[in-house]
Amino acid sequence: MQQLTWTEGGLAWREVDAPRLSGDGDALVRPVAVATCDLDALVLSGGAPLPPPYAFGHEAVAEVVETAPGVTAAAPGDLVVVPFQLSCGHCDRCRRGQTGSCATAGAGAAYGMAPIGRGEWGGMLSDLVRVPYADAMLVPLPAGIEPVHAASVADNVPDGWRAVAPPLRERPGESVLVVGGGGSVGLYAAAVAVALGSERVDYVDGDPRRLAVAERVGAHPVERRPDGGRAGRYAVTVDHSGTVEGLHTAIRSTDAGGTCTSTAIYFGGDVPLPLLDMYVRGITFHTGRVDARAAIPAVLDLMVAGRLHPELVTSAVVAWEDAATALDGLDAKVVVSR
């Protein structure tokens, strides 16, 4: 079968052995819509230390091709969202909702990122992918939702959701600040905050294209390159800047008793924090990988209700056979569709 592979020379289609069912809980799926992730852009630009070669792509909606005996979550022909992280659904961590740190598959086990993914599970830009723990992992795509609209629900959309939905559940309608700059997750966070009825959602970034997308999803765009200073007072703040200045702006803009979540990945070593500011105002600070599988149902519910439209963040939809060239120079959300 064909598999898009990240190689020393860039992205290339390679012929590899097709996966097979290997356990009672397995399913084989055929990806039909695959979205690029913010981490993919870092990899392709040399900004992430994930050395090649390995199978590429990890955000997907797929068609179920075959299931092992006992699998009940989906049947051949069904369209499903495939979470990018492997999770068994039964270990203590999975039962707590920590599906990104499954004790059975291994914390970090994921598609499309073998160097940090606890082994080579394959990539979603492949003709066929094996999904273990299918009953725990596969999420049926609701009727009426287009696969190309939901491809990023496997990772980046839940990443944005987890940054704003839990704190807004505690403080409904409160103001939200998103400090962007690192890709699409900040835009999804802004879109979710709007969908959940936040009174004001400000999106700060220096990039006109992302600012236009933020306005499209209902947020208030603020053209500014964060300098580490305060941008106002917000109950909920999100850092997806990838810069120390952006992180500090998000933290310093968090109101007393508020919550700041950093969804950015900082590869450059230790990052300083303004701990005195955090201490004086008693804010809660979160960072870490998203537990995607646990958040996917809530994201799909917002889409079914017509309140969340991830497709507004997508910059382009390209044909499957064009993926290797279309993703060259990637710097925005792209969906590859069969």
Q: What is the mean pLDDT of the chain?
A: 96
Which secondary-structure segment (H or E) carries 203?
A: strand 201-205
Mean pLDDT to the nearest integer, 270-296: 97
Q: What is the pLDDT of residue 181?
A: 93
Q: Is the pLDDT of residue 285 over 90?
A: yes
* pLDDT classification of 72: cutoffs 50, 70, 90: very high
Identify which of 179, 273, 269 has the alpha carbon closest to the alpha carbon of residue 227. 179
Can you list the domains of the chain with their CATH numbers? Answer: 2-155+291-337 (3.90.180.10), 157-287 (3.40.50.720)
- Lowest mean pLDDT, pick from 45-49, 129-133, 268-272: 45-49
pTM exceeds 0.95: yes
Q: What is the pLDDT of residue 319?
A: 97
Positive or negative torsion for Cα 82, 108, 46, 180: positive
Which two tokens mark 252?
């310093």
The pLDDT score that the predictor gives to residue 50 is 83
Residue that wins the pLDDT comparison between 9 and 49: 9
> Residue 108, Cβ neighbours under 10 Å: how many?
16
pLDDT digits (tens, 9 = 90+) for 194-244: 999 999 999 999 999 999 999 999 999 999 999 999 999 999 999 999 999
Q: Is the dihedral of CA 267, 99, 183, 8 positive or negative?
A: positive
pLDDT-based confidence at residue 47 (cuts at 50, 70, 90):
confident
